[in-house]
Amino acid sequence: MTQLQPAAYADLIEARVREPRALQRALAGRARRTIPGADGRLMLLAADHTARGMLGVGSDPLAIADRFTLLDRLVRGLAVDGVDGVMASADILEELAFLGVLEGRLAIGTMNRGGIIGAKWELDDRLTAYDSEHIASMGLDGGKTLLRIEDTDPGLPPTLEMVARLTTELADLGLMSLIEPLPYLKNEHGGAHLDHSEERLIKVVAIASGLGSSSAFTWLKIPATANPDRVAAATSCPILLLGGDAGAQWEQVFARWEQALAVPNIRGLVPGRALLYPDSLTVEEAVGRAARLVHRGLS
């Protein structure tokens, strides 16, 4: 399947009503693979935005809201040579598995999606999606946690404790713990926003690397910065770069990725909106270009 057909989507909707276990069976029973490929690098697509209410791309606040369109873009992206898998919430992983496009692909389940975008409690990133037990029982390859660090927010200590516990649980199961540590600030109205300081990013990378009773299965997901070698030097853990909403700046995004991927422990990409909703490229062009940056032997 290189694009989503309306008949296949209709079958998915019907299965949710008449045979819901079919979605679970498709995900748990899919063909598995090892996490790193032969080159030790990873190209994943991120699709956990909707579970936190993040639906906008560019000037369209509901760009990701149409599920058929989102699934179609994921199906097309997963068909591109060099794409290793997807990181998403349970609804999307089950849908992709039911559609048959996760065979031999990595499936990483997102875990704490409770920090609804724009909410007063946005930085209270509670566990509302997968837990460690279901990451394992559903046959997933790992779990992803969001760790946004803002120095005045009272929700941070329990979030730190939770991410540490989940990292330990996933390590005990031999599964990837993909942590996304991000420095945040609050404005005068209490609204949360990303802090682009490299110094603070280095600090949160160091904190995330030390969480849990084992870091053996810890990977980190961070932005590409102007000095990626300086940030990556704060840890020996493998790093995947996120994408964000590239908008019309996609050439700058690709240039930063290319620079950062030369750093030894920066091992790949896990972008979502930048590739699935590109400003001036097709999904196949955007994903293909990113995959060639990650897996350098691709033609």
Per-residue confidence (pLDDT) for residue 299, from 0 to 100:
67
d(CA 80, CA 178) in angstroms, rounded, equals 23
Is the pLDDT assigned to residue 245 strictly greater than 80? no
Q: DSSP label at 126?
A: -
**Which two three-digit tokens encode residue 272?**
């979502």
Mean pLDDT across the chain: 95
Per-residue confidence (pLDDT) for residue 247, from 0 to 100:
66
Q: Give the phi and the psi of residue 227 in degrees, each rounded to 5.
A: -130, 70
Within 10 A of 7 (CB to CB), how many other CB atoms are there? 8
Local structure of 79: helix, strand or coil: coil
d(CA 101, CA 110) in angstroms, rounded, equals 18
Contact 246, 269 (CB under 8 A): no
d(CA 148, CA 160) in angstroms, rounded, equals 9
Per-residue confidence (pLDDT) for residue 251, from 0 to 100:
86
For the stretch 29-84, pLDDT in tens is: 999 999 988 999 999 999 999 999 999 998 899 999 999 999 999 999 999 999 99
- Where does the pLDDT of residue 286 fall: very low under 50, low under 70, confident under 90, or very high at 90 and above? very high
- Where does the pLDDT of residue 276 fall: very low under 50, low under 70, confident under 90, or very high at 90 and above? very high
Identity of the amino acid at 152? T
- Where does the pLDDT of residue 248 fall: very low under 50, low under 70, confident under 90, or very high at 90 and above? low
Residue ranges and CATH numbers for the domains of the chain are: 6-294 (3.20.20.70)
d(CA 32, CA 145) in angstroms, rounded, equals 22
Across the chain, how many H-helices and E-strands are there?
Answer: 11, 9
Rounded average pLDDT over 233-260? 89
Rounded average pLDDT over 172-188? 96
Residues 6+ away with beta carbon under 8 Å from 165: 212
Task: Name the residue among 209, 201, 281, 218 with its Cα closest to residue 248.
Answer: 281
Ramachandran area for residue 174 (φ above 0: left; ψ -120 to 50: alpha; else beta) = left
Give 178's strand partners: 144, 219
Is the pLDDT assigned to residue 282 strictly greater than 70? yes
For the stretch 99-111, pLDDT in tens is: 999 999 999 999 9
d(CA 55, CA 196) in angstroms, rounded, equals 22
Is the pLDDT assigned to residue 198 strictly greater than 80? yes
Per-residue confidence (pLDDT) for residue 113, from 0 to 100:
95
Rounded average pLDDT over 248-255? 85
